[in-house]
Copies of this chain bind each other. A is one copy, B any other.
């Protein structure tokens, strides 16, 4: 592997001048520059990453910590982040934490202390606010989770889950449903709590008593959605139309299949509304009404923000709320 030294020798200049043409931070005589460029070309020279990182205290790497790469929702955000980061010379290091807050913390601490990355993006972390290290010196963006209450210098990019679940409740109520249920995610997922809250509060404003709303907390999977829905149907006596807000599309799909299996009619008897709008939601039978979290916009925002912050280290952290959209299809 050719080094800057080899280039300098071949071009008959000093290392410093070669460095100057590489970084472009100083003027160098066009002739000299051409000679150096040619030498670099000839030797297929590529600057050594580690040397540069050591000297500049910059690794041109960004960590992305996410709960489950198998979930297309996170995949879409990651892909969208990459689409903007690709245009810079940063690389993404990806860590799948298997939905474990402990693994999130381990990964976070590792990246903070070893300085192998220049910035960190955490997508939908489950770690409790007060367990986040307070001495984080590099840009940290928290995605798909609302701004923390406790003091910090993190950036946030998220959709307003309170508002969206309120819209969902309102839509269900307006569609003539009389009884209501909610199958929400695990209690350690902040957004699962917020969605439940927004749904219930709004229904209450519509005159539905909170204690009449059946609530199940469970994981975001097909099986758990199926299971929870079965349980609701076997518990509740549906005399009137029942609306169920399932706070993730994948679980909503499970719920739909459970309803079908019990021989009930979707929409006529039991309405289902999901959350996220992942790629298959429009293909379900019936197509799932759900709230779209715009993964593409989020990713682009996050990518742009972190590059900005890396560019200008004393740029302030920011909080961005992105607008989602209720996708009305045919399940409620």
Q: Which residues of A contact B (CB under 8 A)?
A: 1, 44, 46-51, 53-54, 57, 59-61, 68-72, 75-76, 78-79, 82, 91-96, 98, 113-116, 222, 253-254, 257, 279-280, 283, 285
**Complexed CA–CA distance, A91 and B106 (Å):** 13
Q: Determine whether the beta carbon of B116 is less than 8 Å from that of A91.
A: yes
Given A92-B93, A95-B82, are A115 and B61 also a contact pair (CB < 8 Å)? no
Contacts of A96 in B (CB 8 A): 78-79, 82
Contacts of A50 in B (CB 8 A): 50-51, 53-54, 57, 59, 115-116
A-B contact pairs, 29 of them (CB 8 A): A1-B115, A47-B114, A48-B54, A48-B115, A49-B115, A49-B116, A50-B50, A50-B53, A50-B59, A53-B53, A53-B54, A54-B54, A61-B93, A69-B75, A70-B72, A70-B76, A70-B79, A70-B279, A72-B75, A78-B94, A78-B96, A79-B96, A82-B96, A91-B95, A92-B93, A92-B95, A93-B93, A253-B280, A254-B283
**Complexed CA–CA distance, A279 and B70 (Å):** 9
Contacts of A48 in B (CB 8 A): 54, 114-115
Q: Determine whether the beta carbon of B280 is less than 8 Å from that of A280.
A: yes
Q: How far is the CB of A213 from chain B (nearest CB, A)?
A: 27
Contacts of A279 in B (CB 8 A): 70, 222
**Complexed CA–CA distance, A115 and B51 (Å):** 11
Q: Determine whether the beta carbon of B49 is less than 8 Å from that of A51.
A: no
Q: How far is the CB of A26 from chain B (nearest CB, A)?
A: 23
**Complexed CA–CA distance, A49 and B114 (Å):** 6
Partner of A44, one of B98, B113, B115: B113
How many of these chains are in the complex?
2
Query: Which residue of chain B is the closest to A137 with respect to CB atoms?
Result: B1
Contacts of A49 in B (CB 8 A): 53, 59, 114-116
Contacts of A98 in B (CB 8 A): 79
Partner of A114, one of B46, B253, B257: B46
Contacts of A59 in B (CB 8 A): 49-50
Q: How far is the CB of A229 from chain B (nearest CB, A)?
A: 13
Q: How far is the CB of A173 from chain B (nearest CB, A)?
A: 30
**Complexed CA–CA distance, A115 and B47 (Å):** 9
Contacts of A93 in B (CB 8 A): 61, 91-94
**Complexed CA–CA distance, A53 and B55 (Å):** 12
Partner of A69, one of B61, B69, B91, B116: B69
Given A72-B72, A92-B94, A94-B92, are A46 and B79 also a contact pair (CB < 8 Å)? no
**Complexed CA–CA distance, A71 and B82 (Å):** 15
Contacts of A257 in B (CB 8 A): 283, 285
Contacts of A61 in B (CB 8 A): 93
Contacts of A47 in B (CB 8 A): 114
Query: Which residue of chain B is the closest to A49 with respect to CB atoms?
Result: B116
Contacts of A283 in B (CB 8 A): 222, 253-254, 257
Query: Which residue of chain B is the closest to A61 with respect to CB atoms?
Result: B93
